[in-house]
Structure 1
Amino acid sequence: MSALEGLIAPAQEGAEKRALPARARRFGTLRLFVLGAVLPLGAALLWELAVRAGLASGRLMPPPSTILATLVELARSGDLALHVKATLARVAAGFALGVAAGTLLGMLAGASGLARALIDPSLQGLRAIPSIAWVPLFILWLGIFEASKVTLIAVGVAFPIYLGTLGAILSVDRKIVEVGRSFRLTRLQLATRILLPAVLPHYVVALRAGLGLGWMFVVAAEFMGASEGLGYLLVDGQQLGKPAQIVAAIVVFAVLGKLTDALLVAASAPLLRWEDTDSHAAAAREG
């Protein structure tokens, strides 16, 4: 073997070894996706067979074929894209505002015991208020247009972000901070090298919880006189007696919620690549 071959061979072997875990991860992700689809697809198939066999009428709970036909019709007419865009825009705006407010309040309460004593009791009390209770107040204050809807979503998102940020800051091990100080790290270095890595995994979980509540609150928001959005489809289906349209809107909510959560997990994965724990791997696989 020549000298050149001697240099190339180890490099090729190293590349092959690095490629194996990547292929294993892709196979594992595909396997988890297939396993996750077994339950909903199996339940849908069983219900379709039950209706076709005459064991159930399918009037109030339509079979999957009817729901699929409704989705196709909504897509062909352009209504589905219109309502999906309206709902996505509201969730995105409310999520951004809620994340900003929840993060700032959580950082303030986590960094200062005095601030925590001042704001935490009030925020905990407000957190217990049901989402639907805010609706008449926001309509009175902000009207029935987009401002009230986005604000309601932001309120729902802010509380889990606040709790996650506060809990993450309070859970930072003081010994790690003392080690950083003993190495004479500046405040910026202490924040970026110690505090941020310690807080980030918990913060990502809080973001996912906030996003989930954002999708829940958008339904209540779109009950406030909306003429567009998936929530409007739910109300329209209930008023006109269209159960297939109601279930179709629920299915779209579920799909969009899962897709946005997966995007959030994928976006945060590079920031958590340093973390080598089973819990993080499980969270990443869920996305």
Structure 2
Amino acid sequence: MKIFKRGNGREPRQAAQEFAEAVQPGDAERAGRLAQELTEVLPDSFGAWFEAGMYSKARQQWADSAARNRRAAELISDAERREFGGANPAAWNLGIAATALGDWATARWAWAEYGISTIEPGVEPIDQHFGLTPIRLNPDRPSLTHQVVPAYGDTEVVWCWRRSPAHAVISNVPLPESGHRFRDVVLHDGEPKGQRNDVPVFDELARLEESGLPTWQAQVVGANADDKEVLADLAGPAGLGVDEWSGIRLMCSECSHGSPEAHQHAPVATDAVVLGLAGSEADLRGCLDTWLANRPHVTLAELTLLW
């Protein structure tokens, strides 16, 4: 077997071994140097470019991740595809990196290469209906070695409208402590980390767009389930967010990453219904006035701007 060497005489397997060993949190800079060396000593190796691309993904170095995963996606052999069940994992990571960069032509190529036939070639942003999915904002556990984990605020799992395989729009009204707002656009990973209602939870990788929509808290007395459903129906077409915060379950990390039923985490008991709302004050007050007009049994006790 031919042994490739650089000018300094280092063999590929030595660089690969050192890269694999650079797993300590403080070794990120060294791992980055070794990732680059891997691609230099093994320029035609799918594995070298894929590992280097994974490193760049973990560090949120999206341009490098896109370039490295594009090369890996082009180098993958039939045998290597079979190891991944016929898929091209570099294409998936390329799709994530291209989405982060707003390079929609490359993202569309990557998803097609991965096998997603519903995404056609083009240069326009991908904005398709991929269903509702829960996403963990500010993940409390890194899933990749040397990962830069988003830290906009506290960890919270929210439901989102998934617009492509890698980005989604927040459909809940997140708690202010999360540092996110209703209709923020987030980039997310593709490896499930727990579940909600039998739907896989994905971890946030980065925030792509901030909506800027103000977050409010309302306390309502006397509202039943039907009343709350009517409010949601009024708010949705107006582009406003409504969530029942009094029903939020605060879970331990173990339950959040696995099944929420692992332990009992009951919502905090309260006499009033606490709602999280999102939108401009004028639009929200107009919506609430319409809602309350035919509901004398419902009282709006408080409406407070949180941020």
TM-score (norm 1): 0.18
TM normalised by structure 2 equals 0.17
Q: Larger % of strand: which?
A: 2
- Whichever of the two has the greater Rg, that structure is 1
Which structure is higher in RCO with an 8 Å CA cutoff and minimum separation 6? 1
